[in-house]
Amino acid sequence: MYSVSKLTEYSASALERASAELRSALAQEAVAVKNEAEWKIFRDRWMARKNGVLTQINDLWLKAAPKEAKREAGREVNLVKEQVEQAVAAAKIQSQIPTLPIAHAGSEPSEVEFQGKAFEKAGLVDITLPGIRRPIGAEHPVIKTMNEIVSVFQKLGYSVAEGPVVETDYYNFEALNFPPNHPARDTQDTLFIAGQAAKPPRERLLLRTHTSPVQIRTMEKMRPPIRIVIPGQVHRNDPPDASHSPMFHQVEGLAVDTNITFSDLKGTLDHAMKALFGSSVKTHFRPSFFPFTEPSAEMFVSCFICGGSGTRGAEPCRPCKQTGWIEILGCGMVDPNVFDFVKDKGYDPRKVSGFAFGMGADRIALLKYGVDDIQLFFQGDVRFLQQFA
Ligand code: PHE
């Protein structure tokens, strides 16, 4: 342990050497302080009036100095005194931190940083020590899946469009051919923004229940022909369980041109599914209903878990519920009533036709990664999410 020794010489370099030795001992002892009790011992060792290190250097360096060296020695002792005081203050802060917490990216300035600041101020930072590692982070599995879906369509010449999550009744329902009070609205379990009663119904705000409103928003801005994909967040008033979340994600698609047919819809989606799930998957369309497409369909892909057999060895295949088919999306030919809402932007239903589709990105991510609970995606548990980095 460091102890103060008498100075035999009072030259500037001798003083400097002596105080450098003291400083390095001070720094070493300061960083070793782990708790309040240790800090008290540390403080008293350096600052106690009776026989503390500061008292000793006052006696051995200053009082013992010959007259002509008193000025220089006094300056050095004052400097050391300041450094000791700062180190004791910094060590106190450190002693109040139970264990060094791991710094997380994006968090508030951590205690580690706070402690670092105190030591930096005290001139006690060892810049040769390794730094605090900050994890860079990675794409969330749902975002990654959305990007993969989007890029399949980008390669076909589609561009990306986005729209607001807080939407008006007009874009979410009315312009998509959901008449006011129509029962089809009930199927969407809409979450409404409060305090909207004073507004005309079509201007009332809600959390969009699907990405389809961006179809209208884009057609208002761009004349045909268009081919767009629309990734985004949507909300529905569904109680959370293993396969439902009140917040989830969709990727929508819209193609409008002259002479677009249901064959184009089938060919495009069949290609996309093979690109996403592997070239051996088959697609299958069943009639369905959406107010904004006519005819409408649900599209299924052959189960890529069991290869369409419905069984995995002796076990039943759960993802496809033993049917060999997995429902992936809703689609259809754009209803002429929808074009009527954007007729003056060049969408004359007698001249153009189009198809649209919308798929749940979270569901696809669940299937792709073999995750059995959608809640895991949104609980923010780094141990779960790290597996996809
Ligand atoms: N918007 C529909 C839904 O959320 C899906 C869909 C999109 C259906 C486009 C047809 C065309 O269920």
Q: Tell me the pLDDT tens digit for each residue of 252-294.
A: 999 999 999 999 999 999 999 999 999 999 999 999 999 999 9
Using the predicted structure, report yes or no on whether residue 60 has a pLDDT greater than 80: yes
Pocket of ligand 1 (CB under 6 A): 210, 212, 252, 290, 293, 330-332, 356-358
Using the predicted structure, report yes or no on whether residue 219 has a pLDDT greater than 90: yes
Residue whose CA lies nearest to ligand 1 atom number 12: 330
Please identify, by atom number, the ligand 1 atom nearest to the C-alpha of residue 254: 9
Q: How many whole angstroms from 138 Cα to the centroid of ligand 1? A: 30
- 68/176: higher pLDDT: 176
Please identify, by atom number, the ligand 1 atom nearest to the C-alpha of residue 211: 1
Q: How many whole angstroms from 323 Cα to the centroid of ligand 1? A: 23
Residue whose CA lies nearest to ligand 1 atom number 10: 331
User: Which of the four pLDDT bands, split at 50, 70 and 90, describes residue 76?
Assistant: confident
- How confident is the model at residue 100, as a pLDDT? 46
Residue 380, helix vs strand vs coil: coil
Contact 124, 25 (CB under 8 A): no
Angle at 243 between CA 236 and CA 172, to 5 degrees: 20
Residue 356, helix vs strand vs coil: strand
Residue whose CA lies nearest to ligand 1 atom number 4: 210
Number of H helices, E strands in the chain: 13, 12
Q: How many whole angstroms from 249 Cα to the centroid of ligand 1? A: 12
Q: How many whole angstroms from 42 Cα to the centroid of ligand 1? A: 69
- How confident is the model at residue 102, as a pLDDT? 47
User: Among 210, 215, 364, which is best to mutate for testing ligand 1, by the most ligand atoms less than 8 A from CB?
Assistant: 210
- Which residue has tokens 């264990």? 99
Query: pTM (2 decimals)?
Result: 0.69
Superfamily designation of domain 141-388: Bira Bifunctional Protein; Domain 2 (3.30.930.10)
Q: How many whole angstroms from 304 Cα to the centroid of ligand 1? A: 23
Asked whether the CA dihedral 37, 42, 43, 47 is positive or negative, the reply is: positive
Pick from 305, 344, 309, 338: nearest CA to 323 = 309
User: Which of the four pLDDT bands, split at 50, 70 and 90, describes residue 103?
Assistant: very low
Asked whether the CA dihedral 152, 153, 155, 159 is positive or negative, the reply is: negative
Read off the pLDDT of each residue in 148-158 and give the average, rounded to a whole number. Answer: 98
Question: Residue 155 is encoded by which pair of tokens?
Answer: 């390669």
> Parallel, antiparallel, or unpaired for β 226-235 and 159-160?
parallel
Using the predicted structure, report yes or no on whether residue 106 has a pLDDT greater than 60: no
Residue whose CA lies nearest to ligand 1 atom number 5: 358
User: Which of the four pLDDT bands, split at 50, 70 and 90, describes residue 21?
Assistant: confident
Please identify, by atom number, the ligand 1 atom nearest to the C-alpha of residue 355: 11
Q: How many whole angstroms from 291 Cα to the centroid of ligand 1? A: 9
Over the chain, what is the mean pLDDT?
A: 90
Using the predicted structure, report yes or no on whether residue 380 has a pLDDT greater than 50: yes
Please identify, by atom number, the ligand 1 atom nearest to the C-alpha of residue 330: 8
